[in-house]
């Protein structure tokens, strides 16, 4: 084999290896996020919400906190998602509901998963979501538009210096993973 052909083969192998690495990283990003949240304790769980006493759930009408809503799409996600409201003024201890409108711009059905994040980090454990589209995968048909609900409250124990909380969602295309899981469920149900 000539030196030029050898260099071409090595270059193609490096490119293939880089493509496999990038695909693997993208595929594992959501599970890695879950592991990161579990290790750092940055995720507020339902078990912690249950531990709140009835006194803590009383509305604090003496205080208003601004909640900003933000959304972004991971690369390859052909949805348009927009919060119904860009921001809300809320009283800690009261449950609020808002919606995000999602439109699938693709020519085929897609399944998406929203991954939330809260800023500042100090507010993360005080934001309680009672209903959220991020709890489940969202399946949207080609050209379909849906309204996705979000019900939440701020724990009245939110530190007094936190007056602004940003709730962000990043949407990931998990269509291939969801289809593979559906096929596996079908096979297991058949047995």
Q: Supply the pLDDT for residue 25.
A: 73
86 CB-contact burial (10 Å; exposed 0-12 / middle 13-18 / buried 19+): exposed
- Closest-CA residue to 27 (of 176, 182, 185): 176
41-190 CATH pick, 2.60.370.10, 3.60.110.10, 3.40.50.300, 2.70.98.10: 2.60.370.10
Q: Is 122 helix (H, G, I), strand (E, B) or coil?
A: helix
115 burial (CB, 10 Å; 0-12 / 13-18 / 19+) is middle
Say what the pTM is: 0.66
Question: Could you say which DSSP state residue 185 is in?
Answer: H
Q: How far apart are CA 88 and CA 174, in angstroms?
A: 30
- What pLDDT does 50 receive? 41
Q: CB–CB of 128/151 below 8 Å?
A: no
Both tokens of 44, joined, read 């507020």
pLDDT tens digit at each of 191 positions of the chain = 677 778 888 888 888 887 777 777 777 777 777 766 665 555 554 444 445 555 556 888 899 999 999 999 988 889 999 999 999 999 999 999 999 999 999 999 999 999 999 999 889 889 999 999 999 999 999 999 999 999 999 999 999 999 999 999 999 999 887 655 454 444 445 55
């Amino acid at each position: 084999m000539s030196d030029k052909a050898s260099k071409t083969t090595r270059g193609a192998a490096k490119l293939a290896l880089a493509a496999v690495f990038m695909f693997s990283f993208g595929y594992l990003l959501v599970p890695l996020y879950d592991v990161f949240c579990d290790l750092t304790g940055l995720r507020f769980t339902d078990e912690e919400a249950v531990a709140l006493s009835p006194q803590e759930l009383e509305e604090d009408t003496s205080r208003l906190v601004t909640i900003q809503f933000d959304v972004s799409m991971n690369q390859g996600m052909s949805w348009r998602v927009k919060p119904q409201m860009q921001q809300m003024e809320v009283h800690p201890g009261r449950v609020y509901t808002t919606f995000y409108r999602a439109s699938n711009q693709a020519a085929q059905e897609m399944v998406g998963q929203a991954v939330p994040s809260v800023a500042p980090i100090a507010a993360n454990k005080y934001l309680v979501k009672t209903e959220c589209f991020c709890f489940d995968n969202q399946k949207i048909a080609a050209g379909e538009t849906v309204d996705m609900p979000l019900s939440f409250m701020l724990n009245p124990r939110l530190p007094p210096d936190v007056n602004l909380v940003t709730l962000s969602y990043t949407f990931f295309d998990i269509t291939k993973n969801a289809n593979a899981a559906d096929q596996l469920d079908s096979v297991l149900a058949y047995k």
